[in-house]
Amino acid sequence: MKSPYKKPIDRRHFLKGLGVILALPAFESLGPSLVASETTTRPRRLVYVGSHLGFWPGGFFPKNAGEDFEASMTLKQIDRHRSDFTVFSHLDHGLGGGHKCVHSFLSGIKKEESAGFPEKNMSVDQAAAEFSGSRTRYRSITAGLKEGTDMCWTRSGVNIPPVSNPARLFEALFVNSGKASLEEERKRLLHRSSVLDALHESAKTLGGKLNIADRDKLDQYLTSVREVEQRLQMSNEWLDRPKPKPPINRVVDQDRLHIEEMPLLYDLLVLALQTDSTRVATFEIPMGFQTAELEVSSYHGLSHHGKESSRLVQLQIVEAYLMRQFGHFMDRLKEADLFDDTLVTMGSGMGNAHTHSNKDLPVLIAGGGLNHKGHLICPEEKGKRIPLSNLWLSSLQWFGMDTERFGRSTGTFSLMNLA
């Protein structure tokens, strides 16, 4: 039975959105472009979900390709959505470094190697957030179970920590500030604007007196200043606009384990998209959370299982829970009539936590009105592998950005021409 969430796509966009396609000539039969019809007027949204420790490869990847793939232990949790997602094998950024490399999941670039790239190690969500601008109250919302996952990075290479308290996220979305708080915020914005003006004037004066290296430093600094200005401008535009009325009861602080906050945070992200408070969201799953039911003290400890069967069993329980909650998120997007217009990515910068490998990353995309193809096995041979950044580039094009590169991309990703 065909999914009711599919919609026709304008084939003319296939050639327009195709760009340079490398290493996947056999996939041209998959269909026209990811880019949907020009007649679409509903806003599009991007969501990226990232887990620091990834998924055990033996439980994540299906053994056979195509739409009739046999669901793996982990993917069984979302098998009811199988016509609405595509899982990829053999995608990565060609990087190494174990835990220290996971932060490059959404950028394709290590922070310490970012100097030669125009956008440094900016993550794909923040590229989309810049494009979205002040159309919504928040250019992007980053949520997570706790701080320290380092998944989202600005153009100037500054990390954006996630909001890990559901009560704080609820307040940001639905609780209006009082008159005194608004005036205080207005004064703060005016003060910071005047400081930025002064900094600009100082920079202009210094510019002609600096050598090349110092001018590069100044340019990086001014880029950071511009980012602050953009955020200030957006804050000013939205300061006096009332927030939407909450469709649920107020979320209050409670004594929960991190893992227990996941369903509520997912629900709040759906509400953020549904109320058009943002069109770009991320959800970060760290390596440090604990669970009450498991014998091993932490999720991180389970990921280094040493192939010990008892630890693998417990790890699969955790990973099944994580994927089950992701399925819950897709359920909510469909119930809110957002699924067709929201492209959701689930994955990790860690390929195998047990060996600290950053190769063969677990990645799947869902929604977006695409003609999904089940399990796609990409080329594994050296010289034919597809950079994960090609997928990020294509997701930005789907979002509406007119760009031909992102991170280490070598072209658009032909599998993303699914729709």
The residues spanned by each domain of the chain are: 12-174+256-416, 177-241
pLDDT at 223: 65
pLDDT at 351: 92
Distance between CA atoms of residues 7 and 174, nearest Å: 32
Averaged pLDDT of the chain: 80
Distance between CA atoms of residues 419 and 417, nearest Å: 6
Q: Which residues have CB under 8 Å from 237's CB, separation 6+?
A: 134
Task: Write the DSSP symbol of residue 359.
Answer: S
CATH 3.40.720.10 is held by the domain 12-174+256-416: yes
pLDDT at 18: 29
Q: Which residues of the chain have pLDDT under 70?
A: 1-40, 147-149, 177-179, 181-210, 212-239, 255-258, 289-297, 306, 414-419
- Determine contact, residues 74/316, Cβ cutoff 8 Å: yes
Q: Up-side HSE of residue 222: CA atoms within 13 Å toward CB?
A: 15
Q: Which two three-digit tokens encode residue 119?
A: 């956008």
Q: How many residues does the chain have?
A: 419
Question: Beta 85-91 vs 141-144: how paired, if at all?
Answer: unpaired
How far, CA to CA in Å, does 296 sit from each of 286, 292, 325, 353? 16, 10, 22, 16
pLDDT at 304: 77
